[in-house]
Structure 1
């Protein structure tokens, strides 16, 4: 018998409608009204794990929670970049799913857990877990779920710069989308292919893929996904304004844009034509502003923070340091709302890097560079991002050599 009263039904319907605007229609439909009610009650009890809290639930508390509640809790921690805590909660959720005999939930839990392992640089464990999840999804005969796992496996190969393997999985996502006639899946697949082509510096294919993703996302009313693709297009144009050696981000490099280049030593012929650079950065800022407008409208502080950081990086490349600093502060304000330490670390790293860059023309502040790199190091460590912490430590060591 349903426990959903007439007073509660509108809230459940609002959750489903919101999920669809963010391109999550198929996922939300896998949950019953009772599942969503349980989540609402848990969210009210925990207040969505107040972002300022660094504590995960005790083992005793987790024993009283369902696999669904644990999965949602772990995903929230993942979004806050609380990776070690997310790992602990999601592992418990996986155990609970097995205890409950819910194979579909096992797959759902494995997808974010695989991402956590990748973020913690345990790639073998990430791939092993996701291959097990893929086998489960195949056994269930759930093509949509198979596509979700292929999508995550592709993401992890992309992170490892294994682009040919990533493309294999992203093309499988597209094949499933075509088979099911599901434009939501197709939008995801094209967006991911655009990311791989961007990393390979294949401008034409990347733009074509991103534009297909934007068109499909608009068609199905997935505002958040539309904004994400605008941001990806902006990132693509921003990269095109960088000198050739800086267009490809080396493994473990933290900043997205503005890799440090010493004007005294870098060859002049690697520089982008100034007019072309301006055109590319103008295109980038237009795309970033489109993304920002949507993220602010739907009140997504985490993505709004990323959009502000992207804009800050573009204005930094334009040489407008004061504008960039204002935008970085807005990014940090939004990150504080969601308690995202890693996002804050990336911002502080960028600010430190910007101050360091300006030391060459005597406009930088070595103390501010050091202060921001140190903040980044601490925050990376708290988030469990070992690569980020190493990059910040390396930057601090290099600063000591020039101070």
Structure 2
């Protein structure tokens, strides 16, 4: 697979997006372009190991399944959170051992379980009795990780309505069922919600996990696996530091035994800040007030909510735009409404920006576009999804 991967260009000191735009002749292209800084991912990995040394990061592949990113994280030593057969196949294709993978989808098709069994991916989450019976029939050798519900009060994307059992009643019942079926339970997992803003939610969930461990041990299980899920920010290292402090304190208090393996499922943490999306303005329209004064400028870009900006609809992301005009600080700013290229009126990127008076052919850059963008993008209305250029620092 590696021989098919695209070229990586190298830079010194700092990635210069404006210089890349000039060198790539983007003014002549109608297709949007992603600029990926792989060194951003590497720096995030090093920061994780520094701040959360006991927690193994298992990258959530669904966040961005770009093979170049997956290969880099595999080489750095990360584990992986996979949700499907194809994600497993992608990760295993880079010689990642099955022990570094958690099949963290509590409701899996049988054919996907069969593939996991064939490749000895034993660790997988479960949150209901029907899945326990399915595992008993199709993969009885697997290690059951009981996923319980413990959501943050504030999260970008809550997950509790879909996944997770009640920590007090259901988790114990599932372990009793597994015991009666002679299945192996090795630990528990939770997810406070993607893009967590209530940082104390981690401590609350880790306390619940300790109680589940105690019950499992009463049943005779060797409970040695804790998955603290995701929710870590992708572009706010100060916030990540605060989360790390809370997690470290809670883990030290409730899981002091070093024999317990603790993992997490960071997705946006690794890749959000690594991507800058460059879009071209292919059309503009002016809205004037009754006195004829320019009130709002509408711009139409070559990417929209059916492409990379699907993150606005599905990930509740608020995007920011950068322009590349000279002497921009001294130019007057106007209320700007930005549309995507499709014929759907839902295809609105932003209506709250203030930008200089831009022209057709000018470029806009959108930082922090690496998470939950490209994997969901589609060529709706016949508009191409962006290509990606990859860069990496000679040394970081």
TM-score (normalised: structure 2): 0.31
Q: State which structure, 1 or 2, has the greater radius of gyration over its C-alpha atoms.
A: 2
Richer in helix (by share): 1
Richer in strand (by share): 2
TM-score (normalised: structure 1): 0.31
